[in-house]
Amino acid sequence: MSEQNDYIIEFRNITKKFPGVIANNDISLGIRQGEIFALLGENGAGKSTLMSILFGMYEPDQGEIYLRGEKVKIKSPNQAAELSIGMVHQHFMLVENFTITENIVLGLEPEKKVFGFPVVDIKGTDQKIKDLSHKYGLDVNPTDLIEDINVSTRQRVEILKMLYREAEILIFDEPTAMLTPQEIEFLLNIIKNLQADGKTIILISHKLYEIKQVADRCAILRHGELIDILDVKTTSTQEMANLMVGKQLSLSLDKSESKPGDPVLEVENLTLDNELGVEIVHNVSFKIHAGEIFSLAGVSGNGQMEIADAIAGLINVKSGKISLNQKEITHATVKERIESGISYIPEDRQRFGLILEMPLAVNLALKSYYKEPFSQKHILQENVFLEYSDNLIKQFDIRSGQGSTTIVRSMSGGNQQKAIVAREIDLDSDLLIFVQPTRGLDIGAIQAVRKRMIDERDRGKAILLVSLELDEIMSCSDRIGVIYNGRIQTVAKADQITREEIGEAMMGVGNHGK
């Protein structure tokens, strides 16, 4: 207790229960002034709950919080802000049709007088925001509208919001879940700049390498319990992973040599426009054989998502040809494609993969409900849905509150993804398209999804994997195509290309004149 004075925040015996779950069980930990403190744990381990308590969104059932040595009761986010605590949420809180400056000052607008009338002074504040942005290397243009800027810039606006409110303790909730590798580097640098300026930073994450890269200390939570507090520099990522999951977890995948068969998917000279009518994919050709995983690597926005959408039939083909098992499907409807053997695991699982307000059983039958035995003489057979769903739940280990009747919205991200994977695999299609299949999932779920993908390959399926994560590409693929600016730069067998070579191709290096 002698060192309690250098803690800026101290949690003492925090317990928080929700119906049926103990989210935090008797957690005590201290965070030092000026450090980067990471909270590591799988989804549902209680990280976000603990931080929500600090930010005044929940009240703890038991326990106390000490801030700068004084006991505080934080009842609302506003009060947290007054105590100079700021939080960047996973879902940004920004007004789309306002400028960056307008968003930052919202709630604390500076005023000036024009002919004696109070007027919100936006122009005069732009420079102040610019200076603040420059100071921490945030690089935003204060007069841009939010609707015109990308995810990474939006996140930096959220950071500026906290800085404008002079927050000293900054909480980042899974800040890199939506970012590309370059953007992640950029953000981690910003976080280091903030630390250099004396801010205290709490980083909620389940990405080990980020924690390893920036954090000083790291607390590991599992099932609501504090497992350990570690010094990051002296702990290996493997140790952290084991503590987080609670069992020996192999970070590498067991994968045998692929035995490619006949080509299943053939894409020839595919050219696509994006939704604004700008040509985004130029003349792309590739083949995927049965029993192989072909992946498209690349930085976000280089056309890879559009290629996947075009194969699945979600966007129109401008020119070129797509064939499945030697049959042309370039202009087939989505339903025809599904029936001729394409499964699709979309990037945005909540918008394109699931109907969130409907029960799990319905979601699992979304692509087969109209066939026998689900539908008999145009009448849906509820018991068939439930039976089928119970079976998939068991087979794929999908966890949910009320089994087949659970409303999908209430399930965790990892289990939602497992449900989509289960549905798509059970269609028994020849081609499976996985787009960012492990985005936002925790390590356990990531391993499960990747293992399923490899199992399907071994069963002779052709698999297209589109991912922004190089680790995923390296550990799963048999062949890799690197896409840059709508063109495939290079195609190579996975064991014949290095990370560095892929990285260079992703940035368009070594691209002659094209």
Partner 1 sequence: MLNNIIIDGLSFALPLLIIAIGGIYSERSGITNLALEGLLGFGAFCGGLFMAFFSSHFAAANVPVYLSLLIASIGGTIYAALFATLCIVFKANQVISGVVINILSVALTGFLTRQINQNFFNQPSDKFQIGVFPRTSIPVLKDIPVLGGFFNNFYLFEVIILILLAITWYLLYKTRFGMHLRACGDNPQSVDAAGIDVNKVRFKAVLISGALSGIGGMCFAYSISANFSPTIYMGAGFLAIAALIFGNWRIMPTFVACLIFGFARSAGNEIGKAMQLSSSFFDLTMTLPYVLTLLLLIFFSDTNRAPRALGEIYDKGKR
The residues binding partner 1 (CB under 8 A) are: 77-78, 81, 91, 93-98, 102-103, 106-109, 111, 114, 117-120
| Smallest distance, partner 1 to C-beta of residue 157, A | 11
Contacts of 131 (CB under 8 A, 6+ apart): none
Measured from the CB atom, the residue of 94 and 463 that comes closer to partner 1 is 94
d(CA 356, CA 360): 9
**Count of helices and strands (H, E) across the chain:** 16, 24
| Smallest distance, partner 1 to C-beta of residue 417, A | 20
Measured from the CB atom, the residue of 172 and 344 that comes closer to partner 1 is 172
Q: Nearest to residue 331, comparing CAs of 305, 310, 352?
A: 310
| Smallest distance, partner 1 to C-beta of residue 86, A | 11
What number of other Cβ atoms are within 10 A of residue 402's Cβ?
10
Strands 292-297 and 479-484: parallel
| Smallest distance, partner 1 to C-beta of residue 92, A | 8
Q: Nearest to residue 153, comparing CAs of 136, 170, 138, 174?
A: 138
Maximal CA-CA distance, the chain: 80
DSSP-derived secondary structure letter, 435? E
| Smallest distance, partner 1 to C-beta of residue 162, A | 11
Measured from the CB atom, the residue of 103 and 205 that comes closer to partner 1 is 103
Residue count (the chain): 514
Location of structure tokens 């919202």: 106
| Smallest distance, partner 1 to C-beta of residue 70, A | 22
Measured from the CB atom, the residue of 159 and 392 that comes closer to partner 1 is 159
Q: Nearest to residue 90, comparing CAs of 43, 56, 58?
A: 43
| Smallest distance, partner 1 to C-beta of residue 98, A | 7
Q: Is the peptide bond before 373 cis (omega within 30 degrees of 0)?
A: yes
Q: Nearest to residue 258, comparing CAs of 222, 300, 288?
A: 288
| Smallest distance, partner 1 to C-beta of residue 314, A | 22
| Smallest distance, partner 1 to C-beta of residue 437, A | 25
Measured from the CB atom, the residue of 120 and 384 that comes closer to partner 1 is 120
Strands 36-40 and 217-222: parallel
Contacts of 447 (CB under 8 A, 6+ apart): 249, 253
Across 487-513, b (16+ Cβ under 10 Å) vs e yields bbbbbbebeebeeebbebbbeeeeeee
Contacts of 331 (CB under 8 A, 6+ apart): 317
| Smallest distance, partner 1 to C-beta of residue 183, A | 22
| Smallest distance, partner 1 to C-beta of residue 1, A | 36
d(CA 49, CA 53): 6
Measured from the CB atom, the residue of 58 and 136 that comes closer to partner 1 is 58
Across 221-247, b (16+ Cβ under 10 Å) vs e yields bbebbbbeebebeebeeeebbebbbee
Measured from the CB atom, the residue of 64 and 168 that comes closer to partner 1 is 168
Measured from the CB atom, the residue of 76 and 269 that comes closer to partner 1 is 76
Measured from the CB atom, the residue of 120 and 474 that comes closer to partner 1 is 120
Measured from the CB atom, the residue of 161 and 418 that comes closer to partner 1 is 161
Measured from the CB atom, the residue of 172 and 186 that comes closer to partner 1 is 172
Distance set, CA 506 to CA 219, 269, 284, 420 (Å): 35, 20, 15, 29
